[in-house]
Copies of this chain bind each other. A is one copy, B any other.
Amino acid sequence: MPIEQRCTIVEMTPLNDSTWWMTLEVGKMVEEQGLRAGQFLHVACGEGNLLRRPISVACVLADEPENTAALIFEVKGEGTRWLAGRKVGEQVNVLGPLGNGFSVEERGRYLLVGGGIGVPPLLGYAEAYHKNAVAVLGFRSADRVILAERFRECCKEVYLCTDDGSLGRHGFVDAQVRDILEKEKDFTAILACGPKPMLKSVAKVAAEYGVPCQVSMEERMACGVGACLGCAIQMADGTMKHVCKDGPVFDAREVEWNV
């Protein structure tokens, strides 16, 4: 059940020139509402911006620091610019926990596939499956890379790709995913987050190799709780589902990719 809460910022660290790691004291959201990575918080971004901004939870810490959640966000427009201007000790008003997060099993083996600012929501899963998950992380270029070290610390293997070849493999993540699945298909599921074209290609590869694939989707939101029907995405069966309430994570087979 979502609640509205003013959360104190306990950490604010730049990861590159436009991406921030913000740790929030989220209190009861962890203890009582079971907040977890892959869900999102709907963050009020100052008086000048009417709507809240959805930001995924990258990871949750029940202790040290107690009941905190990390949001990692990129400055895109006015809302995220406002957010980037906040300082440790200030408070932000958030709604949460919202959405479902990835659906995982305790002993699963997961292939995590992240692109750009889609990488952070996978962090919590990488940490949860310590030294068991494999990660494929894609970025535009070397200077956009974030969280690579943290993934290396907790994943079995980490493959980096960049669109321009300035670091790691040259090209998109789906090529790397294909190579991995070609060698071994024994993953419980692929968990993917990133831009829609990337998700589409990953979903395609996953389908080819018969590996279940969950994708975390984005859509423009108003309410964030399922009331306004704003954040619709089209399903393969012709119906609409809503990113904030039914997602953001969907079974890749359910999504209509050709729109």
Q: Which A residues fall within an 8 A CB radius of B?
A: 46-48
Nearest B residue to A49 by beta-carbon distance?
B47
| Bound Cα distance A181, B47 (Å) | 52
Complex CA gap A46/B82 in Å reads 13
User: What chain B residues lie within 8 Å of A47 (beta carbons)?
Assistant: 46-48
Number of copies: 2
Q: List 4 A-B contacts (CB under 8 A).
A: A46-B47, A47-B47, A47-B48, A48-B48
| A44 CB, nearest partner CB in chain B, Å | 13
List the B residue with the shortest CB-CB distance to A78. B47
Give the CA-CA distance A48 to B44 in the complex, in Å. 14
Q: Which residue of B lies closest to A46 (CB)?
A: B47
B residues less than 8 Å from A48 (CB atoms): 47-48
**Cβ of A46: which chain B residues have Cβ within 8 Å of it?**
47
Q: How far is the CA of A48 from the CA of B47 in the complex (A)?
A: 6
Distance in Å from the Cβ of A18 to the closest Cβ of chain B? 21
> Would you give the shortest CB distance from A141 to chain B, in whole angstroms?
33
- Determine how close the nearest CB of chain B comes to the CB of A51; give it in whole angstroms: 15
CB distance from A70 to the nearest CB of B (A): 28
CA distance A48 to B48 in the complex (A): 6
With CB as the reference atom, state the residue of chain B lying closest to A82: B47
Assembled-state Cα–Cα distance A46/B48 (Å)? 9
User: Considering the chains assembled together, what is the distance between the CA atoms of A47 and B85 in angstroms?
Assistant: 14
CA distance A72 to B143 in the complex (A): 50
